[in-house]
Structure 1
């Protein structure tokens, strides 16, 4: 009898282990997001001979991964875990590699805008140069799929140097179906030239092209020099906080006042701050890191703005962080320059 019970137990255990393995490795068509962390920017950003902070400027992140059975079930039980359909995160037919490349490009673009805005406000020299165009994605079923990859940098078309994505689009617009163009690209440090025919887009037969999504490759040249090491952090949401850290290193007055200051929001070349996703999760990340002040996109006072959602989350978790609404970099700068008055 005892042997039978042992066999039954072992069988049940084996079944349980097998189900656990399946539950871990079978991916569902969803992503799960949850609070990440707040990361100090001073170790990431280095302006040559820049001034030091007494406090910290910090970026906030969320953690995200494709759901399996267990993470999906856990997210259902956690208030600040969010479940997103896969098509809300990745584009149609976008591979993991293409998604990662797109996020890294967004981060690079965010850095370039942040550098430009910060240097201009600090009255430091900054110039922008174009160096061809990057391929952000490939349209499935189009001719580019056979020859090109996301991440390729195009620098010539039919022997003609290309500096902006609009130049490429205008050049292709003058071609006809089945015409072949020669595209010179740089991939992983090596240059190659490929021939690609033009064809109609599957979902828009009146439009002719090769099936690539493009972005202009920009180099920002500064004095003093700057280095930013974000490794594999992707996305544009740290733009505002990058700008504040860079500006603070460029100017003698310390805007941190010895405090821990976090926030989120995109930044464009004009210094405007845009909304992001996962604001509630970022408030939790900041609160867990004892942040004193948090900047949130105000979206010009919209009722459902990131700022309003940030206030609700802070109240819900009983955080004593000061949540500050901003529409522009200058809003954040003005608040910090007058911090003693704002207390």
Structure 2
């Protein structure tokens, strides 16, 4: 072999080796792809997604599917360059900077915990929205989220405690609890009446001065609701708030006579608040692909996502624009009964 040929061979081998090594190098990106769908009026792993006890329910049919986005990568399991390149070539997935899902100031575990809490909050809001739509009375409550380590409340108030009164005065809003505590002088005791494990108890907690000089006990609280009957929602490891709309529709369907869908396969997404307002979400492109693959022909789309949705809607999937739970119910009613036009995402 000539010297020139040997040089070219060695150079080619080195180039190939560098390319292989480069392809295996971790990169700070995340691949988003269509995730699983779950029928909110069906079962998952043999268990109803929505189980209602203490109130009459009605049989239903069809599908009201929540949709999800799966991801690869993250700070604890970084992608290699080759996987990222494959993702850039696949129109059904998105490759985004790692910080999109995992901000630098938070760990992967903190992100997972936040997603879990957002799912819990979403289920509460979805239940409240459905019951409000049905004019079923619900009651606002204040619950303990956590206590500050070493604060007077640490070890006395527990996560999940429902605060019903402060110093004998009934409370139902976060602001009223804070006002009652701050009305004391730092160093004084505050008596909390809490509902814990179904029983009422009184807990005395000391106060200290906060940065503003006002009394505080070191407790983080969140708003919640007490419902007149039990609504359990089970979807496994799905996290985040974007299934709120579909949970509300599933609850509404089970609490009303007849099948809301009329047997249609409907998917959708969107956050929801207790008043029934529907908000936009992320990953709309991947969620539509997942919905269509699961057989959906209608996709309930938050108005705030319409502009992105119309650019990537899969063939055979009809986009229905929704802004409220009431609007979504009316749209599904109209589709089922073939009763005129329904709001659509505008083209372009």
**What's the TM-score, normalizing by structure 2?**
0.68
Candidates 188, 198, 203, aligned match of 1:179:
188
Which residue is equivalent to 1:311? 310
Query: Which residue in the other structure is 2:243 paired with?
Result: 238
Of residues 254, 261, 264, the one that matches 1:259 is 264
Residue by residue, what CA displacement relative to the aligned partner does 1:20-73 show, whole Å, maximum 9, x if unpaired? xxx99xxx99987543211011132356341322x2111112346882454444
Q: Sort the Cα spacing of 1:30 and 1:162 in 2 relative to 1 into closer, same or farther, 3 A.
A: farther
Contact 2:73/2:79 (CA < 8 Å) preserved in 1? no
CA distance in 2, matches of 1:269, 1:172: 27
Q: Distance in 2 between matches of 1:196 and 1:231?
A: 40
The Cα of 1:323 is off from its aligned counterpart by 1.4
Q: Show the counterpart of 1:273.
A: 278
In the comparison of the two structures, how many residue pairs are matched? 296
Whether the 8 Å contact between 1:32 and 1:71 is mirrored in structure 2 is no
Q: Which has the larger radius of gyration?
A: 2
Going from structure 1 to structure 2, the CA distance change for 1:329 and 1:69 (only over 3 Å counts) comes to: closer
Equivalent residue number for residue 9 of structure 2: none
How far the C-alpha of 1:169 sits from its partner, in A, is 1.5
- Please state whether the residue corresponding to 1:84 is helix, strand or coil: helix
Question: Does the 8 A contact of 1:118 with 1:244 survive in 2?
Answer: no
Kindly indicate whether residue 138 of structure 2 is the aligned counterpart of residue 119 of structure 1.
no
In structure 2, the CA distance between the partners of 1:243 and 1:97, relative to structure 1 (3 Å rule), is: closer
Residue-by-residue CA offset, 1:269-326 (whole Å, 9 max, x unaligned):
332212223323322321221211111110xxxxxx3122222232xxx443111111
- 1:173 CA drift (Å): 2.6
Relative distance call for 1:51 and 1:324 in structure 2 (3 A) is same
- 1:14-53 matches, cutoff 5 A: 34-43=33-42, 44-46=49-51, 48-53=56-61
Instruction: Output the CA distance in 2 between the equivalents of 1:109 and 1:174.
Output: 31
Partners of 1:292 and 1:163 in 2: CA distance:
43
SS for the counterpart of 1:333 is: helix
1:290 aligned residue (287, 292, 295): 295
CA 1:290–1:84: 2 relative to 1, 3 Å: farther
Kept in 2: contact 1:50–1:249 (CA 8 A): yes
Is residue 238 of structure 2 the alignment partner of residue 229 of structure 1? no
Does residue 135 of structure 1 match 2:144? yes
Task: Please state if 1:170 is matched with 2:179.
Answer: yes
Q: Which residue of 1 aligns with 2:94?
A: 80
RMSD between aligned residues = 4.0
- Separation (CA, whole Å) in 2 of partners of 1:195 and 1:283: 51
Quick one: structure 1 residues 161 and 90, their matched pair in 2 at CA, closer, same or farther if it must change by over 3 Å? farther
C-alpha distance in structure 1 between counterparts of 2:225 and 2:28, whole Å: 35
Shift, 1:264, TM fit:
0.9
The counterpart of 1:334, out of the listed 311, 330, 341, is: 330
The question of whether the paired residues in 2 share the 8 Å contact of 1:98 and 1:137 is answered with no
| Partner residue in 2 for 1:57 | 64
Cα distance in 2 for residues equivalent to 1:251 and 1:281:
32
State the alpha-carbon separation in 2 of the partners of residues 169 and 252 from structure 1. Answer: 43
Give the 3-state SS of the residue equivalent to 1:323 in structure 2: strand
- Distance in 2 (CA, whole Å) between partners of 1:97 and 1:69 is 12
Taking a change above 3 Å as real, the CA distance of residues 153 and 29 of structure 1, as seen in their structure-2 partners, is farther
Q: Secondary structure of 1:338's partner?
A: helix
Structure 2, unaligned runs of 5 or more: 1-24, 43-48, 88-92, 343-348
Equivalence for 2:319:
323
Call closer, same or farther: CA 1:264–1:70 in 2, change over 3 Å: same
Question: Does 69-78 or 265-274 show the bigger shift?
Answer: 69-78
